[in-house]
């Protein structure tokens, strides 16, 4: 681990637009913990929230600039005229305040940890003086086309270097000179890999994560409804709550569950303070994102505790579950990869087929989960991530 005295410690200011605790924020907290004091790292967010609370309780210095409307503009609005105007006016005001904090902190390095943060940091810092930690794919299945254009320009001319959370994410930034993009998979602390379970167990089939259309809880419920009649003992569990602007989706999900014939066999567990124990108690983890996932930390967290994985076949997920492209097709839209089953995105029948295969093939599921655990503990440690980033 890097050991520097206080005077020579490099100071870093990481900028994030959100105070919520999404995947990128959890990845950041792990990364800062792994730096083990080797750098003087402060965080700036544009809203209060659980991320700010966690960061402060981990002893991290946090500045909060109240971001107002510019922070609240959703991805869908970002391409509209109203969205652009709110964005532009709010962003200029925010940029002025951000500039003041950066002047006062005078960090050696500024890092943007979210798309909105990158736009603001780009405005304030200009060319090549900041690093972009990219957790999102710059692709049209996720962002409005004009926004992608702006972000690619920022990638090319703004930031000094991009740290992408997967090769799939890196492939969306457009062509950049060699060495300007590095891939650092978000890793887990070593303790996350201790005591993996030996067999998949009898727990529920679960989906864990923010409740949102991009995460696919509704596809999960639809697949559960197909699995339930032939697998009367199977139970299902949805862990997570809606953040940002997805309250409407959460309501629709709840109604879908009420209408389904799953009755007491499906549980809406809400937000969990200890996701590690959730992953451990599940019989299998289902990742159902209908749009390609940039990376997919929940998959690695499940692999770490020995829980078998069914995941949608796109984005960074493939690099986790099928690192060497060694899969076989076992049903329409379902591939069996070394570390889990990969399912055609947005295909409820394929998702149901994969869940049933896992339920029906206990021994194979166990072997897969054991191998997944040992691969994850080699490839996805936070020290590995830190070694690339530092
Ligand atoms: C974002 C991505 C997710 C990734 C995480 C950490 O939340 O959506 O796929 O795992 O960042 O990089």
* Domain extent listing, the chain: 10-184, 190-379
pLDDT tens per residue across span 72-90: 555 555 556 565 566 677 7
Place of tokens 């503990």: 377
Q: Identify the burial level of 293 via C-beta atoms within 10 angstroms of its C-beta, where 0-12 means exposed, 13-18 middle and 19 or more buried.
A: buried
Superfamily for domain range 10-184: Glycogen Phosphorylase B; (3.40.50.2000)
Nearest CA to ligand 1 atom 11: 24
pLDDT tens per residue across span 332-366: 999 999 999 999 999 999 999 999 999 999 999 99
- Please measure the distance between the N-terminal and C-terminal CA atoms of the chain and give it in whole angstroms: 10
CATH number, domain 190-379:
3.40.50.2000
From first to last of its 390 residues, what are the pLDDT tens digits of the chain? 444 455 678 999 999 999 999 899 999 999 999 998 889 999 999 999 999 999 999 999 999 997 555 555 555 555 565 655 666 777 788 889 999 999 999 999 999 999 999 999 999 998 878 999 999 999 999 999 999 999 999 999 999 999 999 999 999 999 888 889 999 999 999 889 988 887 777 899 999 999 999 999 999 999 999 999 999 999 999 999 997 689 999 999 999 999 999 989 999 999 888 888 899 999 999 999 999 999 999 999 999 999 999 999 999 999 999 999 999 999 999 999 999 999 999 999 999 999 999 999 999 999 999 999 999 999 999 999 999 988
Beta strands in 152-261 (DSSP E): 161-164, 181-183, 205-208, 236-239
Alpha-helix residue ranges (DSSP H) falling in the chain: 23-35, 50-57, 69-72, 81-105, 115-125, 145-153, 167-170, 217-227, 247-259, 275-281, 297-305, 317-321, 348-360, 362-379, 382-389
What's the rounded Cα separation, in Å, for the pair 55 and 103? 22
CB-ligand 1 contact for 294 (6 Å cutoff): yes
User: Residue length, the chain?
Assistant: 390
Q: How far is the CA of 65 from the centre of ligand 1 (A)?
A: 23
Topology alike, domains 10-184 and 190-379 = yes
Inter-helix orientation angle 23-35/50-57, to 10°: 10
CB-ligand 1 contact for 24 (6 Å cutoff): yes
Inter-helix orientation angle 217-227/247-259, to 10°: 10
């Amino acid at each position: 681990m890097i050991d520097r005295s206080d005077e020579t410690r490099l100071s870093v200011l990481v900028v994030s637009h959100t105070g919520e605790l999404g995947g990128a924020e959890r990845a950041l907290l792990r990364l800062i913990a792994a730096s083990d004091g080797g750098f003087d790292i402060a965080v700036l967010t544009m809203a209060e929230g659980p991320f700010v609370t966690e960061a402060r309780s981990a002893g991290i210095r946090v500045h909060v600039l109240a971001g107002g409307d510019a922070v609240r503009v959703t991805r869908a609005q970002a391409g509209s005229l109203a969205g652009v105007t709110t964005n532009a006016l709010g962003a200029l005001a925010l940029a002025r305040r951000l500039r003041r904090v950066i002047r006062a902190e005078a960090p050696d390095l500024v890092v943007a940890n979210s798309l909105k943060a990158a736009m603001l940091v780009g405005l304030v810092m200009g060319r090549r003086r900041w690093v972009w930690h990219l957790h999102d794919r710059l692709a049209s299945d996720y962002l409005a086309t004009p926004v992608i254009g702006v972000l690619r320009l920022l990638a090319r001319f703004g930031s000094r270097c991009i740290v992408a959370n997967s090769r799939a994410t890196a492939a969306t930034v457009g062509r950049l000179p060699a060495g300007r993009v590095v891939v650092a998979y978000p890793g887990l602390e070593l303790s996350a890999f201790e005591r993996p379970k030996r067999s998949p167990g009898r727990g529920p089939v679960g989906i864990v994560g923010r409740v949102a259309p991009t995460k696919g809880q509704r596809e999960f419920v639809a697949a559960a409804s197909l699995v339930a009649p032939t697998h009367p003992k199977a139970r299902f569990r949805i862990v997570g709550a809606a953040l940002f602007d997805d309250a409407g989706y959460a309501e629709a999900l709840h109604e879908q569950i009420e209408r389904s014939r799953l009755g007491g066999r499906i549980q809406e567990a809400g937000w969990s303070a200890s996701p590690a124990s959730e992953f451990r108690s599940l019989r299998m983890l289902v990742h159902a994102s209908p749009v390609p996932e940039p990376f997919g930390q929940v998959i690695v967290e499940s692999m770490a505790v020995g829980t078998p994985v069914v995941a949608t076949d796109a984005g960074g997920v493939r690099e986790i579950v099928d690192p060497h492209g060694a899969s076989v097709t076992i049903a329409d839209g379902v591939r069996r990869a070394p570390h889990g089953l990969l399912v055609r995105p947005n295909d409820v029948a394929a998702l149901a087929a994969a869940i049933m295969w896992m339920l029906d093939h206990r021994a194979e599921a166990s072997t897969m989960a054991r191998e997944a655990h040992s691969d994850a503990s080699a490839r996805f440690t936070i020290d590995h991530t830190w070694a690339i980033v530092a």
